[in-house]
Structure 1
Amino acid sequence: MTDTMITISQNELGGPEVLEVVSAPIPQPGLGQILIHVHAAGVNPIDATNRQTGLFLGQPPFVLGWDVSGTVAAVGGGVSIHKPGDQVFGMLPFPAGSGAYAQYVLAPARAFVPKPAHLSHPEAAALPLAGLTAWQALVETAHIGPGSRVLINGAAGGVGHLAVQIAKSRGAYVIAVVSAGNADFVRVLGADEVIDRADAAQVAGVRDVDVVLDTTGGDPAATFEFLRADGTFVTLAPRALPAAQAEAERRKIRTATLLVEADRVGMNALAELAANKQLVPVVDATYPLQQAGIAQATKPKSGKNVLLVA
């Protein structure tokens, strides 16, 4: 192993052109840390948001990316659950712990779990942030279970396509709201009912839903009609919620939003579902590490984009 690595860094906020290929020293793991040789890094919408605004990371310089799949290159003191050569995947601490757009990255040992053998590194890198978001929203926040009627708005996206599969694995009845071109895709994932978001009659016919997961950031009140009294509305866009809170209380609807957290229990659950073929991450496209800007600027048709790291 050499002493330096390639990273994708930026010195200013802005468009994809601010991302630069930079040489940096390979860090050494400290107590409780592992050094991962990154083979693939997931590309999420929040990456582009931080590139443009520094929302969670403040002012540059910084290295983007939270999803990692790779090989343990070295372990720090006190680490007993991983050893060099192990194939692992997971999410770096969100939101402050980015750095996946690099050949090597330091990570908390207990945020990472063994990669299911049948998953490629790009497939594994497509899982952590989006998968944990779906898991924490549906299982830990909404407490879905057998017979739950779950509506997923944006069901073909990075979070949505995993949420469909997680909900099905818990025995839920899944209603997927997508554009017409993604209807067959979500049916293959297991959706019991597919609603064309542009078909007003179809949308208006949805009723008596137990849980709505909105991954699109739309107007919460527009989906309250779908929910039964005492139903749960979970959104990934917290800014949209306050304006709709009074209406939610009137309808006796529980509302929640969340910021995904690195979570070993959740990662093990995702890994088990993937190992049992109940959770199949879809990679829309892969790009070389040096094309991180292009990957961020290209919206996936379904699933998500992934960077391939040398």
Structure 2
Amino acid sequence: MAAPTMKAIRLHEYGGPETLRYDEVPRPKPGPGEALVRTHAVGVNPPDWYLRGGMTSMPGKPDTTVTLPVIPGTDVSGVVAAVAPDVGGFTVGDEVYGLLRFPGFDGHAYAEYVTAPAADLAHKPPGIDHVQAAGAPMSALTAWQFLIDVGHDHPSPFQEAPHRPTPLGPGTTVLVNGAAGGVGHFAVQLAKRKGARVIAVASGAHESFLRDLGADEFIDYTRARPEDLVHDLDLVLDTVGGPHSARFLPTLKRGGALFQVLPGAYDPEEAAKLGVTVSSAQVRSSCTQLAELGRLFDTGALRVAIDSTFPLADARAAHERAARGHIRGKIVLTVPQG
């Protein structure tokens, strides 16, 4: 009898979205500590196009495990199809979601089936569907680990000191730059849930969306510079990064903090003079935090916004959509069931 196969997206070479190929490949088998998940939906995230472009090792990990051809992807929602004998807590038929083997490029989620470390999975919240669940893990965990609880003591590859979230509550003000994106739209909701006053920065088309998520104030960066309009902030969460991130330093009160989700340029001497902190972190898989987030998703206290969906076979189109930017929430690949 021939070994079972499946459809998957693979990279045979690095380059643009056109390098994503829809292949027939062997179906994986779960190893020790793993479950086999029949994929229903897959979240699309920046590391997917970083890998496609030739990035094969994560910050802090000089070695790579990537060999071509490779299946990209880390965020998955689906149904358990099999479990290794040493796995407890999951049985065949369970609906699950997770961020697989991150930080790293070994998630291999762009496929009809994927093996997943049980430690990276949580039960899918019944209150959301597979598309919403697949859009959540990396972005929601990033927002959670930056703002609420890091949840681990692994050294950061970006700084010597461990990242520590700023206590949020009534009387604190948080600005979220890039608020309409994957991490940003979760950050707006989590900061608001903590009682903070939230200022959302995005293009004008996203104002009603972000106010509906709880933003108290909105700044359209295409019409005004946020650094000219705000001051005495307790926290800036900058999901954009880049050479202009330092413009937020003067907006902070003494003792305030700038959290950079993506690397951003700044002058440490200026930060010290202003009495503010600049900090970053590297998101990590966490079944415990996914379970906690799942309770919020299930009750509607936290929402997953979906920018667009594409069939797995059209992963190229999904990456082309991502390259156009101005994303509202998450891009998700759907996997036909049959």
* Normalised TM-score (structure 1): 0.94
Task: Count the aligned residue pairs.
Answer: 307
Q: Is the 8 A contact 1:144 1:172 kept in 2?
A: no
1:1-310 counterparts in 2 under 5 A?
Answer: 3-56=4-57, 58=66, 60-96=68-104, 97-140=106-149, 141-147=164-170, 148-200=172-224, 203-218=227-242, 219-238=244-263, 240-241=264-265, 243-299=266-322, 301-310=327-336
Are the equivalent residues in 1 in contact too, given 2:227–2:250 (CA < 8 A)? no
Question: Residues 146 and 170 of structure 1 are in contact (CA less than 8 Å); yes or no, is this contact kept in structure 2?
Answer: yes
In the TM superposition, what is the alpha-carbon distance from 1:28 to its structure 2 partner? 1.4
Distance 1:59 1:28, change over 3 A: closer
Identity %: 40
User: Which has more helix, going by share of residues?
Assistant: 1
Letter in 2 for 1:214: D
Q: Find the residue that maps to 1:165 and give its secondary structure.
A: helix
Q: Distance in 2 between matches of 1:117 and 1:24?
A: 31
Can you list the C-alpha shifts for 1:87-127, whole angstroms capped at 9, x where unaligned? 01110011322211000111110211111112110000010
1:5 Cα shift? 0.8
Structure 1 position 45, deviation (Å): 2.4
SS at match of 1:216: coil
* Structure 2 Cα separation of the partners of residues 64 and 143 of structure 1: 33
Task: Compute the TM-score of the two structures, normalised by the length of structure 2.
Answer: 0.87
Secondary structure at 1:81 match in 2: coil
Root-mean-square deviation (CA, aligned residues, Å) is: 1.6
AA aligned opposite 1:224: L
Write the distance in 2 (CA, Å) between the matches of 1:126 and 1:106: 19
| Distance across 2 between alignment mates of 1:106 and 1:249 | 46
User: What letter is aligned with 2:118?
Assistant: A
Secondary structure of the equivalent of 1:62?
A: coil
Instruction: Tell me, yes or no, if the aligned pair for 1:142 and 1:211 is still in contact at 8 Å.
Output: no
Q: Which runs of 5+ in 1 are unaligned?
A: none
Deviation of residue 55 (structure 1)?
Answer: 4.2
* Distance in 1, Cα, partners of 2:235 & 2:225: 21
Instruction: In structure 2, list runs of 5 or more residues that go unmatched.
Output: 58-63, 150-163
SS at match of 1:307: strand
| SS of match in other structure, 1:63 | coil
User: 2:79 and 2:225 mapped to 1: Cα distance?
Assistant: 50
SS in 2 for 1:47: helix
Q: CA deviation at 1:200?
A: 3.0
Does the Cα contact within 8 Å between 2:199 and 2:216 map onto a contact in 1? yes
Distance in 2 between residues matched to 1:206 and 1:60, nearest whole Å: 48
* Most deviating of 264-273 and 197-206: 197-206
**Which letter does structure 2 place at the counterpart of 1:222?**
R
Matched-pair contact (CA < 8 Å) for 1:126–1:304: yes
Report the alpha carbon displacement of residue 61 of structure 1 after superposing the two structures with TM.
2.1
Task: Compute the displacement of 1:59 (Å).
Answer: 5.4
What is the CA distance between 1:256 and its match in structure 2? Answer: 1.0
Alpha-carbon contact 1:66-1:98 (below 8 Å) kept: yes
Identify which range, 159-168 or 143-152, moves more after superposition.
143-152
Letter of the 2:126 partner, please give it.
A
SS at match of 1:204: helix
Offset, 1:38: 0.5
- Between the aligned partners of 1:80 and 1:146, the Cα distance in structure 2 is 38
Equivalent residue letter for 1:14: G
